[in-house]
Structure 1
């Protein structure tokens, strides 16, 4: 599946968010953004699932990127949201660098194949320093969505 298709539209992209002073606060805000696109899954349930996943090991990839993700019982389809932060935050990433690009992903509990496929595609995309630089330079959600569409086309 294409990255832009996971996001559905630019309403799930939040650029230069400045209300994130900590990893916990980022996950709270991300949970809110993700909950908007679920039928019956509460923001708190999403928050708890993402925190539980972080307890297993940080989802900070390195180079300023994190992909918080969780498998959610009762979820009927994959849900995603993306945030860029106005100021990087400490995130316990593998390279110890602060994070300013966050891509949140929720998948149905029984859909591990899609989960791994989506994560693989995201990791590949975010390992490209030019893509990350373009994402950091984009401050408008519609333009970010267009950028992701263009990346998907490559």
Structure 2
């Protein structure tokens, strides 16, 4: 877990740092309340991956593809909030692009796990203390890729706390 400053730029910067460890085939599931910073975080991922933008909320189009400007993987940005279930997710045919892209799904928990055996869940929460201008970010890796010792070290570096908390418990 890491506290990120309230400013949108802090959340975007965390996304840029995470982009450095992402590769084609990665599935990132974003959870958090409305206004917690999911799209802002994804904007940072897009900047870090060097994709064509701007990265905006795909709420009304449900999924948006941002091709790489550097020859890396595209960013597939999904907003699963309005999806009625797995059947509607299947209609998007994300399986066709998940292996070649970095797929980020806002509101995707409980729906998108079928897309990849390995996934990273990023929970963004606003601090409950109104005097504390911070967001809490928790990373939870699932599958061999994210649970490996090397990836755990890489994620600690992303969070800026090499001696920080045990990510398995975050």
Give the TM-score normalised by the residue count of structure 2: 0.28
Q: From the two aligned structures, give the one with the greater helix fraction.
A: 1
Larger Rg: 2
Task: State the TM-score, normalizing by the size of structure 1.
Answer: 0.30
